[in-house]
Structure 1
Amino acid sequence: MQLTSADETDLLMPLYAGVHDQSRWQSFLARLQRRTGADHAALILGRNDAPMDQATEISSGRNLREEADKIGLARHYAAERLPYRTLRPGRVYGAAELVLHDAAMRSAHQHFNEQLGVSDRRVIRIRDQEGASAWLSLARNDQSFSASDGALLIAVAPHVAVALRNFVQTEGLRIQATMAQHALARGRIGWIAFDQDARIVARDEAMAALLPITTDERLRTDRMETRQMLLHMAAEAANAANNAYVAPRVVTLLDTPHLDAVLVPLPDSPAIALATPVLLALCRLSPQPGEGRAALLAELFDLPRREAELALAISDGLSIAEAATLLGLTQETARNYSKRIYARMGVRGQAELVRRVLLSNALLG
């Protein structure tokens, strides 16, 4: 069966849009349900190595999973999907075919459908994509599906496979970006991406809160040398031929609060983009107040909590006297603590202490 131009507009557009929509494929399923006269349409998604009862189900019309759960048939609902992994991709199966060789399953299947008031089902397995499996499922309360309904599922299936591949790849990139951003935030590193004209293409949340921006998406600063440096480095990075080396440079972005950045060229920018980043500014941000770092430092070096807090205060640039005042300690107590800290951490003074703390994973807390 060939998809008509109306089918392409009615079904394929929401199918491909569903990769990015918040509602995922609800619109596509609603239109598929209407097109086939189904009372229930579902797209079932799962990892290739995961049990079927852990699969995600997006549905339109009757929510059979919820209905089964309400009448105590959740276990039967999960069992109904056990044969799905044995299905051959691209072929439409009737519900009876799934349990053809098992009398006990046939009986349970019939009881299950009677309880839910389902008269007919159709299932097609989508060709697996990059570790993900998918199935399209239709159900009717009365009457049976026609041959044209099955033919429509077969015609749509390759397009669902493409949408699934795009979804898997997009989700992978989203997860990578989220984890990278989380790691940078933990390390208190902010970033800004500039195009060849030193306009800001993107920035993280911390930098967005710190930096004033002009209406034409440039950094608002009174420092002429900063504006010139950004323009020079952006142009140099954009014009670097054959990945020619462009040395990183340091520039002051803000005076209050003081914020320096390392400017690093981006030689691997995408060839086609609405705004191509060519220059990255990396900034070391001040640590956030909180107890996370102290708890990690105490665990790493087997320190009592107050000693860990003192070690962090010293590593932040305070003298022992200043750290004692900050923490409400006497100077004598702070000095005694510092001696025990040096012994436990295996250092021989404040300089080594600061280095040991700054190189530890405690700062990721």
Structure 2
Amino acid sequence: MYFDSAATSFPKPKEVKKAISNFFEQELGSFQRTDTENSDFIYETRRKLSDFFNVESPSSIVFTSNSTESLNIIIQGFLKNGDHVITTATEHNSVIRPLVKVKHEKNIQITWVKCDKYGFVNPDDIISSIKDNTKLVIMNHGSNVTGQVQDVEQVGQRLQKYDGKIKFLVDISQTAGHIKIDNSKIQADFLAFTGHKALLGVPGIGGFYINPKVDLPPFKVGGTGVLSELLEQPKAVPLKYESGTLNSLGVLSLYHSLDYLNSLTTDKIASDLKKKTCYFLDRLSKMENLEIYSLENPLGIISFNIRGIVPSRISHFLSKDLDLQCRTGLLCAPFIHEFIHNNPFGCVRLSMSYETTWEEINVVCEYLKNINEQAESIQNIKFPEIYEMPSIKNMEEYV
């Protein structure tokens, strides 16, 4: 059984699998680098993504290898010496580590905003943290730990009164494909996405939307396949940020997965996952030894611990007895755990998809019920000593 969709979605739509197979059998050449290759699907995928996120121009969609690369391009390219950035306790290391790197290199100021015990960030705390030198606000749209979805629309709309002086970066890695992303309401200047999660593409493809009015230096320069007479990187987006051979196979997977998602609709996916998480949580709430960190959510994420049992041990039981794949630990988001109160070992995360069956959910619930009933005998282990956990409260600016 597969309960790790928040890491990488599985299974992929049959349309995606068929297209990938045909690609290896029929496609020749490399995008923009031969006269024999039909490259229309690259532009068409940009167009489909621009429609999917409701942004105006397909050329504002830049392809990268994943969200991590996208976030690095934006964070390291946009922030300058003395800038102030506001971000949250829910962020993934793909935001935290670039920010810490830029802080060392450019002496930026960072305000880290707390969340509640389910990972919700109050928009008032974001807005009240704004200073005269605030240049960027970064928010994780959906927590990969708890499944909590943030009110990015309210934040984006409230930032408009600053007349474009404060840019807004939203990490939609967990939400894109699960819920509707309407940037006409969010009004983000940057949207960072990955293809291998709920967008149902293959690993190694991602990208970002960039507001056409915003200019970033390219993260890397080199071959673009066109305008070879220029000795400097082309200025036009997306070429400016797409040096080297594109992952055409990855783009093709999104070309087809977006058709599948549009036929299914994100409303239907979100409704299905809300029902599944609601049912799952109701079953788990009846187990006295469980600590639950998730609320009903459209991302299909259920995070919990069984008191006295290290999370990795629970995943070992699930793998051995049910052949179930899930994820445990800090989940690449170290700060949120001190607010949901499960340090130092993190939690067990079960993450579902539209393809997860009710039978599978019931099997897992029954199994966890049995572990819960045996918890007292399983708890007789010594918790290992570990290194000191990083704390957001030790960062320079914390609200």
TM-score range, shorter-chain basis? under 0.3
- The TM-score, its normalising length taken from structure 2, stands at 0.21
Greater RCO structure (CA 8 Å; 6+ sep): 2
- The TM-score, its normalising length taken from structure 1, stands at 0.23
Q: Which of the two has higher C-alpha Rg? A: 1
The structure where strand makes up a greater share of residues is 1
The structure where helix makes up a greater share of residues is 1
